[in-house]
Structure 1
């Protein structure tokens, strides 16, 4: 194996600062449970979208799973099949990513599960479980294909299963009473079963290669899935609509599970008629009723989790969000503080907006030197729009900043002031992150210009370690989150700064071969830092490698 590595460099500062506890009566940045998933949920196109599963599926049908295949339908189907093993009375199963262990069961035919899970695995981190990603995929599928008419509130906190769940996904050939029993086990009434099936079958169809007893295989299965769609609106941003209900009620449906040639597998027909056609009739008569029913039932579906799992409140877009914060230590007794501030803004850039960063010194006292305490930015980078929800769509703008600060002053955080000048009228809003400012600890920091991966730490802390997060192959279609420990070597003090530089390397030989072959280059790279001495330990968790200089070898961390 070719030896490849990524150099990690870190500098360290002189003292430890005790943390403070705050009551979370309002959102306080950062939030370990929701920040990453908030970015994935809302930064769907433009800057930042590469770190979201939305890049695969927004707009509708963007992901290509092959001729006759609908990627959004596969993502929605994966979420249901993962949930369908739930027993809500026993408190087992639900959205827990156990589907990765269950893809070879006869109740889960087809390659769509594998492809969906491989897509989502690229975003697996210690703060984005596969179960949360599966639920997020269902949100994107329904929202992106309904032109925003189905907007499902998303909560975080799902936990990945360590093995398969009990069998129990409904099959087309089962009689109605077995379907009713199955959905009741999952927590849905017979009427809700009708709605959930209609919502699930507004996208996609039945693939003859998987169900030849339902759809005849007449085309070459090597190049065509021989798909019969559930209705006639199966593509584009309005594919998720009530046509599946309208065509069933009007007896003009092409749904192979409703009026297919095989009576035994006409499960949709039995389910839709099980209450005399009342629920499916309402869904056919009213698009708004259809959308509201689907929003409610799909939200309950993705929120079905095992006993003991607690989900967060629905994740809302964060008004002011810092990112890529770095403090680079210079050789002249200064540090260069840089980063970006993400703001919610108008669809088009506001040329009369200025963003000011007001730094707090390391001591926490008020900063009085305007030359080193305040930096302004009125240059907005490319915006990122949540293009499928809202009118006008939700849009973000990033404002980048960089300023030189004396090391003796240091940084403990900052406030963000947004100044808008419209028609000669100036409005200024100060954001203080719940009153304490947006925190930044300059004791352990990443040095992005020194090497491929960088970090920093205090000279009173004489040991530095890192934990690099990597996908770890399991006996499953998807990996778990594993880790590679690294010990740093002290290089020496940075002259005149009060900081000490540390280095470490990652060698491919340390990484499991399965990981290198299957996952290298296709996942989000993150790491933790742990600095210590004989009496203290300081940790900086979950640092993104995004923003660091890249090594020449693509297989390097």
Structure 2
């Protein structure tokens, strides 16, 4: 029999959006993705490209982070074969830097931007897709729906990225293989090159294309900074400096061949800014949702009205400490009161209506730009830290929310199922653990361990500076001599790599298997 207790994960309800993902606690994948999409602290993808920020440095003085992220994603997707169902957005790009089509430092720089975001449940491919979502809105473009669940590849894909010197028939065939028809090819290229002055062709990478001196080292696609249809309008009125349209090397005028391939019908349609944004949102969304046929993506992930966060249970001074925070979307003008209730695991310590505690702290947490564009100004965090009786323990919890505006208080209870704590036998102990830049010692408590317990952790590690994909490592816990047994628990410790992002702890105790997941954010914030 397997028993589990998941830390730091939960949600209850979502806005009424057609096709929106519904979370039932615990769900580590959806919960992590929600944090990364809507809370700035949890992912560099939500911060580094704000305001179409330039990469800077000696290598790319004019290219923006957003432009690099968008290029990275398409080059990753371009391995897709819609007939065989292989390839797509699967982070295989990390193994493809030696492909001639993927020349340039921006590919590796982008993956390094994302290096600490994946974990056991969220892939690098999922984070690359997030980068696209944020890149577009950070440069003033439309909101693109986000789905998760991508799976990282373990090897390179085929060399199928279209190249500027190829003829039109080759380009049409390449995009057709990826699942896009000729009209969609024209549109997707225009959308991809829409970042204009913030993106373009680097002379150092493509000396046969950028044959003239460029003061910044980059020949831009358009004259404006940001996501707009200037690349279209300047093409139509013949004022463009797009080197792939008017470059002196006629053989590499790939944008010209593509844009004009239907007598400019599609480009004329894209001259409308509203049409451009609408069509680009749809096609870029399809692009990042292009995955191998064996992968099933989630429904669209919208911000949750209510979400349990940073939940931990551990022995402390004669009782069990229980940490939990209820995250609520801020409603201007409301001053909510939140009460936590819980029931006992054994015995009758709690009354029929449950034991209860008030929040000891209420703070406000920022929303990402994506969240703000969806109408989420910020989140209110109602934090709890009740002491749980050791003998009776805890089996489930829920909340009562009072808006204090004359309306009837309501219950937040994991869609009617309550937040179930399945076990209290294997517990991560943040106070006995040590997390520092010098190393990480993780300590877990095993309840009533009369015999030796087998305790291990599967750690997810950040990748290297040359291959920034997450990897896995198994470590073994030993009885912790520095922390003697207390409160009915025996403590086990293990030294983890400084590169650990998250850890799944597993133990077999008297023939029963237990597990718990400890995200990096829990460990770091304990």
CA distance in structure 2 between the aligned counterparts of 1:534 and 1:378, rounded to whole angstroms: 38
CA distance in structure 1 between the aligned counterparts of 2:231 and 2:76, rounded to whole angstroms: 23
2:358 match: 376
1:282 match: 269
Distance 1:548 1:62, change over 3 A: farther
CA distance in structure 1 between the aligned counterparts of 2:522 and 2:463, rounded to whole angstroms: 27
What is the aligned counterpart of 1:210 among 194, 205, 208?
205
1:9 match: none
8 Å Cα contact 2:54-2:62 kept in structure 1: no
What is the aligned counterpart of 1:438 among 419, 440, 446?
419
Q: Displacement, 1:473? A: 5.6
Q: Displacement, 1:82? A: 0.5
CA distance in structure 2 between the aligned counterparts of 1:394 and 1:84, rounded to whole angstroms: 36
After superposition, the C-alpha distances for 1:46-88 in whole angstroms (9 at most, x for unaligned) are: xxx2445313223432654631111101000000000112111
What is the aligned counterpart of 1:309 among 287, 292, 295?
295
Provide the secondary structure at the position in 2 that maps to 1:258.
helix
CA distance in structure 1 between the aligned counterparts of 2:470 and 2:446, rounded to whole angstroms: 30
CA distance in structure 1 between the aligned counterparts of 2:454 and 2:288, rounded to whole angstroms: 40
2:224 match: 233
* Greater mean alpha carbon deviation, residues 85-94 or residues 542-551: 542-551
CA distance in structure 1 between the aligned counterparts of 2:43 and 2:120, rounded to whole angstroms: 15
Question: What does 1:316-465 align with in structure 2 at a 5 Å threshold?
Answer: 316-331=302-317, 333-346=318-331, 352-363=335-346, 367-368=350-351, 373-377=355-359, 379-388=361-370, 389-390=372-373, 392-422=375-405, 425-440=406-421, 441-452=423-434, 453-460=442-449, 462-465=452-455
CA distance in structure 2 between the aligned counterparts of 1:16 and 1:471, rounded to whole angstroms: 25
1:156 match: 148
Distance 1:217 1:120, change over 3 A: farther
CA RMSD of aligned residues (A): 2.9
CA distance in structure 2 between the aligned counterparts of 1:434 and 1:536, rounded to whole angstroms: 29
- Structure with bigger RCO (C-alpha 8 Å, 6+ apart): 1
8 Å Cα contact 2:361-2:384 kept in structure 1: no
Matched positions, count: 496
The answer as to 2:513 corresponding to 1:544 is no
Structure 2 stretches of 5 or more lacking a match? 6-12, 14-20, 435-441
After superposition, the C-alpha distances for 1:484-543 in whole angstroms (9 at most, x for unaligned) are: 322221658744x3322223334xxxx6xxxxxxxx5xx662111112134211111x31
8 Å Cα contact 1:41-1:52 kept in structure 2: no
8 Å Cα contact 1:56-1:63 kept in structure 2: no
2:472 match: 482
CA distance in structure 1 between the aligned counterparts of 2:508 and 2:269, rounded to whole angstroms: 64
CA distance in structure 2 between the aligned counterparts of 1:59 and 1:375, rounded to whole angstroms: 43
CA distance in structure 1 between the aligned counterparts of 2:2 and 2:245, rounded to whole angstroms: 67
Distance 1:206 1:51, change over 3 A: closer
TM-score, length of structure 1 as denominator length = 0.82
Provide the secondary structure at the position in 2 that maps to 1:213.
coil
After superposition, the C-alpha distances for 1:432-473 in whole angstroms (9 at most, x for unaligned) are: 102221233433222222231333322257414232424376
